[in-house]
A and B are shown apart, each in its own frame.
Chain A
Amino acid sequence: MGKALGSEPLGKVLYSGHRPRRRREWRGLKDTWYDYTRWLYYLFTLGKFMMKPNNFKGFFRYRWMSNYLAVPDFMDRHTEGLRGTALRLAHEGIGLIVLDMTLSLTDMFKADPEIGNDTELSKKMVIFDENMMSTLMGGFPNLKWVSYEVPAIYSSSFMCQNGVMHYIDKTHEFGVPTDVCPMPAAELGAALEDDFPLIGACAVQCNTTCDGSLMGGGLMAQSMGIPTFQLAAPIRHRQESVQEYAGEEVLNAIKFIEEHTGEKFDWDYLFKNMARFNEETKEFLEWLEINKSPYPQLLGATLGFYRYGVYMAAGGRSQLFLDTDKKITALATKAYQNKEMACKEYRHRAILWGVQAAYYTAFPNWLMNCWGILPINDMLCCVSTEMVSTTDKHQALLDLGHLYENMIMRNRSNGGYETGVEDLFRLCEQMNVDMVIMYVHIGCKAMSGYHGLFEEEARRRGLHWIWVNHNLMVPLDGTRRDMRTEVNRYMRTIMKEEPVDPSLEEFDDSLCW
């Protein structure tokens, strides 16, 4: 037990079969102290958040808010087994997301007619879809971008594995089949339950992610009670012939927002934000370069969560994110130079493809700690790394169109074989991996349609391919333990390996957050 990586049998120390009330891991004095101070910081942040009367009321108004009681546990899960720089990178990246979330919730509750009822603030808010990038709001300095589906559904499910089951049940009761993706189903359920704040001057929806998401959005629009614009980003987004339309749709969205808020789009402000966005992209490219090396630093959930926050939510509009980016790059570069490791043994380098289970975002940490499988990159991070023009308006529109075509998840679930299959194998070569952890999200028809083609191509290339079934936000359909079992079986029977930490091979976390 101590400072060294893998010095604790984590399965025995952290998992008792009950919901954890105490979850401290001994990481040696320095790291434990650091981790403890961060834990205090999260507690302080949450305490400060709850001290505000609007937030306090919001906590009791919305069922999904109870999931945020698990924030400290969420952080513990995503730093499990980490030491040194890897631990700091996780706290820097994911910690900022937590802070950003509290700020966003504070605004939402302030504007909420049932809570703060700040109508002036509400009139300055533009509601965006959950999986829709905030980027174009970078041209409206006086407006606030809000995506209430993110705290209500998306991150709720990260915090607590059963966190949105109630809403999914509501949607199924409404009559939507149980085979659709649980994410839009949960969002529709929350809308049916009247569990979203009725705020905003107008809303912009997008044909994000998948057919189910699009349909859920269409139904939800009727419950929002504000004008909504549907931004149709082209599906076949690798084709040159669609790019003009993509840009035109962004322009249509801008005009819509102008019309319904009375605000004028400020190109200079956009260019300033896009310059920051480009800087963030450059930082991300640095991280990928480091990850190509034998000493990758930003791994698994740290990379995934943070990239989501920067790319989708921040969208170049916050200096805090760029500052954190630079801090992360500095830490990661130093750790790379010092040949620091993130887990005890590096046995395999893997790309995580498909859609991750929202209820088990700490799965990559388990892969590292239990089997020494390094999650070098995952599909959700493989988004556009193109620069956005900061001088030419027309080109900027095309670039924004390109970004909206390449939103997280959507850019892989849409676009055809070249984006879903070919790119994966190209990335495998680039990132020098020998294994693919292929998430099979049961409700995701887009990726499932390549099942056979994936297998055949992996066989041809001699890549290890592990299918991991889950149902995104419905842990009953493929529990965390089931997911681990699929890896365990492959590692035992095909790879004939012994786990790095045998205590993690089999444990019960069904009652955990």
Chain B
Amino acid sequence: MKDLKHLYYFEKLLQDTYNDLARQAQGEGKYAIGHVCFQIPEPLLNLPGCFSVRLRAPQTGSIEMGTYYMSSTLCEACRAYLERAIEGGFNFLDCIIAPDACAQMNRCVENIEKLHTSPKENFFVTYSDVPMKSDESALRHYVKQMRIHVLEPLHEKLGIDISDAALRKAVEEQNEISALLTAIGDYRKCDNPVITGYEFAVLCLSSYCSPKHLIKEKLQETLEELKTRVPDEKNPYRIRVVMVGSEIDDPEFIKLAEECGALVVADRYCFGSLPGRQVIELNEEEDALTQICRTYIEWGKCPRFFNQEKILERREYVDMLAKEYHADGLIYEQIKFCDYWGYERAAAFHIMDEEYGWPTLSVDRPYAVRSSGQLRTRIQAFVERVELKKINANKAKQ
């Protein structure tokens, strides 16, 4: 296929956490809010006067300082973020709004704070307690926490408007981006999609790392472009997979999978679009904050939700995605040392295969994957297994 017109532009945005658009927004007088987890609803961080930047550590090399402070048995992503903070890569941030979701990311943010990595005098960090269940008690708690540990500090320290109207405006802006990404992502359902998993991952990730209003135009153009984009005559991919798991903040992993012949048609991982890039429906009867929180609790597919209904829901959701996106198999991936996904993928490896009938690959991976020959070999072997299964199934039909 011919390259997407703006792909290079979006790829470039991902080369640096403090990208051109973040600089531009700060130049316009907006505050940069660092965040580290899906559990803080993005609209709360994108109120008029501020924009959110999901912490990443692109082009990570050595993480020795991060390893010293957090030890070698912690998630590499967390160590890489800390390393980047120590190097000064997050100096542009005005604050970090963090949930105490997983212990490792929490430690990462605490280290960033306690080591005084930010040169900004008024830089601050907040930690909120986010729910682990999806019932009404949890929702009330969630709303309270978001009010006390997100909205009020933003208002008191940065003067951000946190009114209901401001929240609705932020939701509206996010909905525009989400609608665009959903429309773009829907092309992955086609038999021979006009967009690859890698390309979509670049676009989607950019929306987590850049001020939303500044990428809208390019996303619109990309959507238009896709309407007439001609796919390769012969589909170069051997199987279609749903990628499920812990955060992927480097699309190179998706590229690696696709180079092995596995087209990633659905992105059910942290930093992906499923869920997270759907439209948030607000009504006028209830306050916006409660509705936003309810949406995020319903969306939440992180394994830290530990009530049985949510555990079952996660599997059903992946099954539903695999059917909707016509996948041939699932790849459950996990950043090494992630406890949540360590258990989740181990269980899914058995359950999604034995109970739902999906061929499943279960892998753990380092933070920076590009050069991982081991991962490549495992994905290649999986592709061959699934492809063989498909061939045999076709033969049996005939």
**Which of A's residues lie within 8 Å of B, judged by CB?**
174-177, 179-181, 188, 205, 207, 210-212, 214-219, 221-222, 228, 230, 232, 234-237, 239, 241-242, 244-245, 248-249, 252, 413-414, 416-417, 440, 442-443, 445-446, 448-453
**B77 interfacial by beta-carbon distance below 8 Å:** no
A245 partner residues in chain B, CB cutoff 8 A = 129, 137-138, 140-141, 144
Q: Pick the contact of B308 from A221, A241, A417 — CB < 8 Å?
A: A221
Mask, B4-28, CB within 8 Å of A = 1, is: 0000000000000000000000000
A216 partner residues in chain B, CB cutoff 8 A = 343
B131 partner residues in chain A, CB cutoff 8 A = 232
Q: Shortest Cβ distance from B85 into chain A, in angstroms?
A: 13
Q: Shortest Cβ distance from B187 into chain A, in angstroms?
A: 34
B102 partner residues in chain A, CB cutoff 8 A = 211
Question: In the bound complex, what is the Cα–Cα distance between A129 and B145 (angstroms)?
Answer: 27
In the complex, 27 of the A-B residue pairs with CB atoms within 8 angstroms, ordered by the A residue number, are A175-B345, A175-B346, A175-B347, A176-B343, A177-B334, A205-B306, A211-B102, A212-B342, A212-B343, A215-B344, A216-B343, A217-B306, A230-B133, A230-B308, A235-B100, A236-B100, A236-B129, A241-B148, A245-B129, A248-B141, A252-B137, A416-B110, A416-B127, A440-B71, A445-B75, A446-B103, A449-B110
- Is A448 within 8 A of B73, CB to CB? yes
Question: In the bound complex, what is the Cα–Cα distance between A442 and B127 (angstroms)?
Answer: 26
- Is A230 within 8 A of B339, CB to CB? no
Q: Give the residue name and chain of the B residue nearest to A405 (CB).
A: B129
- Is A236 within 8 A of B132, CB to CB? no
Q: Give the residue name and chain of the A residue nearest to B337 (CB).
A: A179
A443 partner residues in chain B, CB cutoff 8 A = 73
Q: Give the residue name and chain of the B residue nearest to A221 (CB).
A: B308
**B350 interfacial by beta-carbon distance below 8 Å:** yes
Question: In the bound complex, what is the Cα–Cα distance between A222 and B103 (angstroms)?
Answer: 25
**B326 interfacial by beta-carbon distance below 8 Å:** no
- Is A451 within 8 A of B71, CB to CB? yes
Most A-side CB within 10 Å, residue of B71, B111, B133, B311: B71
**Contacts A445-B337, A448-B74 given; does A413 touch B308 at CB 8 Å:** no
Question: In the bound complex, what is the Cα–Cα distance between A215 and B115 (angstroms)?
Answer: 31
**Contacts A177-B342, A416-B110 given; does A214 touch B304 at CB 8 Å:** yes
Chain B: number of interface residues, binned into ranges: 35 or more
**B108 interfacial by beta-carbon distance below 8 Å:** yes
**Contacts A234-B129, A416-B110 given; does A445 touch B339 at CB 8 Å:** yes
- Is B339 within 8 A of A442, CB to CB? no
**Contacts A448-B71, A452-B111 given; does A249 touch B137 at CB 8 Å:** yes
Q: Give the residue name and chain of the B residue nearest to A442 (CB).
A: B73
- Is A239 within 8 A of B342, CB to CB? no
Apart from A177-B334, A245-B144, A249-B137, 18 more pairs, CB < 8 Å: A181-B339, A211-B102, A211-B104, A215-B303, A215-B344, A217-B306, A218-B303, A235-B129, A241-B129, A241-B149, A242-B141, A445-B75, A445-B339, A446-B103, A448-B71, A448-B74, A449-B107, A453-B110
Q: Pick the contact of A180 from B78, B342, B349 — CB < 8 Å?
A: B342
Question: In the bound complex, what is the Cα–Cα distance between A440 and B114 (angstroms)?
Answer: 21
Question: In the bound complex, what is the Cα–Cα distance between A175 and B350 (angstroms)?
Answer: 9
- Is B306 within 8 A of A207, CB to CB? yes
B347 partner residues in chain A, CB cutoff 8 A = 175, 219
Q: Pick the contact of B69 from A181, A244, A451 — CB < 8 Å?
A: A451
A214 partner residues in chain B, CB cutoff 8 A = 132, 304, 306
Q: Pick the contact of A176 from B140, B306, B308, B342 — CB < 8 Å?
A: B342
- Is A219 within 8 A of B337, CB to CB? no
A205 partner residues in chain B, CB cutoff 8 A = 306
B100 partner residues in chain A, CB cutoff 8 A = 235-236, 414, 416
A417 partner residues in chain B, CB cutoff 8 A = 110, 114
A218 partner residues in chain B, CB cutoff 8 A = 303, 306, 308, 311, 343
Q: Pick the contact of B340 from A211, A222, A241, A440 — CB < 8 Å?
A: A211
Question: In the bound complex, what is the Cα–Cα distance between A414 and B304 (angstroms)?
Answer: 14
Question: In the bound complex, what is the Cα–Cα distance between A214 and B141 (angstroms)?
Answer: 20
- Is A452 within 8 A of B68, CB to CB? yes
- Is B111 within 8 A of A453, CB to CB? yes
Mask, B48-82, CB within 8 Å of A = 1, is: 00000000000000000000111101110010000
A450 partner residues in chain B, CB cutoff 8 A = 107, 110-111
Question: In the bound complex, what is the Cα–Cα distance between A218 and B305 (angstroms)?
Answer: 9
A174 partner residues in chain B, CB cutoff 8 A = 346, 350
**B220 interfacial by beta-carbon distance below 8 Å:** no
Question: In the bound complex, what is the Cα–Cα distance between A235 and B104 (angstroms)?
Answer: 13
A176 partner residues in chain B, CB cutoff 8 A = 342-343, 346
Q: Shortest Cβ distance from A336 into chain B, in angstroms?
A: 38
Most A-side CB within 10 Å, residue of B107, B108, B111, B349: B107
Q: Pick the contact of B70 from A180, A230, A448 — CB < 8 Å?
A: A448
Question: In the bound complex, what is the Cα–Cα distance between A452 and B141 (angstroms)?
Answer: 33
**Contacts A232-B306, A245-B140 given; does A215 touch B339 at CB 8 Å:** yes
**Contacts A230-B306, A241-B145, A252-B137 given; does A445 touch B103 at CB 8 Å:** yes
Question: In the bound complex, what is the Cα–Cα distance between A219 and B351 (angstroms)?
Answer: 11
- Is B339 within 8 A of A236, CB to CB? no
Q: Give the residue name and chain of the A residue nearest to B70 (CB).
A: A449
Q: Give the residue name and chain of the B residue nearest to A453 (CB).
A: B114
Question: In the bound complex, what is the Cα–Cα distance between A450 and B69 (angstroms)?
Answer: 6
B308 partner residues in chain A, CB cutoff 8 A = 218, 221-222, 228, 230
Q: Give the residue name and chain of the A residue nearest to B342 (CB).
A: A177
Question: In the bound complex, what is the Cα–Cα distance between A245 and B137 (angstroms)?
Answer: 7
**B175 interfacial by beta-carbon distance below 8 Å:** no
Mask, B347-370, CB within 8 Å of A = 1, is: 101100000000000101000000
Q: Pick the contact of A416 from B73, B106, B345 — CB < 8 Å?
A: B106
A221 partner residues in chain B, CB cutoff 8 A = 308
Q: Shortest Cβ distance from A405 into chain B, in angstroms?
A: 10
Question: In the bound complex, what is the Cα–Cα distance between A186 and B307 (angstroms)?
Answer: 21
Question: In the bound complex, what is the Cα–Cα distance between A244 and B337 (angstroms)?
Answer: 33
**B128 interfacial by beta-carbon distance below 8 Å:** yes
Question: In the bound complex, what is the Cα–Cα distance between A106 and B229 (angstroms)?
Answer: 72
- Is A451 within 8 A of B68, CB to CB? yes
Q: Shortest Cβ distance from B105 into chain A, in angstroms?
A: 9
**Contacts A179-B342, A416-B127 given; does A449 touch B145 at CB 8 Å:** no
Q: Shortest Cβ distance from A379 into chain B, in angstroms?
A: 16
Q: Shortest Cβ distance from B124 into chain A, in angstroms?
A: 15
**B336 interfacial by beta-carbon distance below 8 Å:** yes
A449 partner residues in chain B, CB cutoff 8 A = 70-71, 74, 78, 103-104, 106-108, 110-111
Question: In the bound complex, what is the Cα–Cα distance between A242 and B75 (angstroms)?
Answer: 27
Q: Shortest Cβ distance from A181 into chain B, in angstroms?
A: 8
Question: In the bound complex, what is the Cα–Cα distance between A177 and B337 (angstroms)?
Answer: 8
**Contacts A219-B347, A446-B107 given; does A452 touch B70 at CB 8 Å:** yes
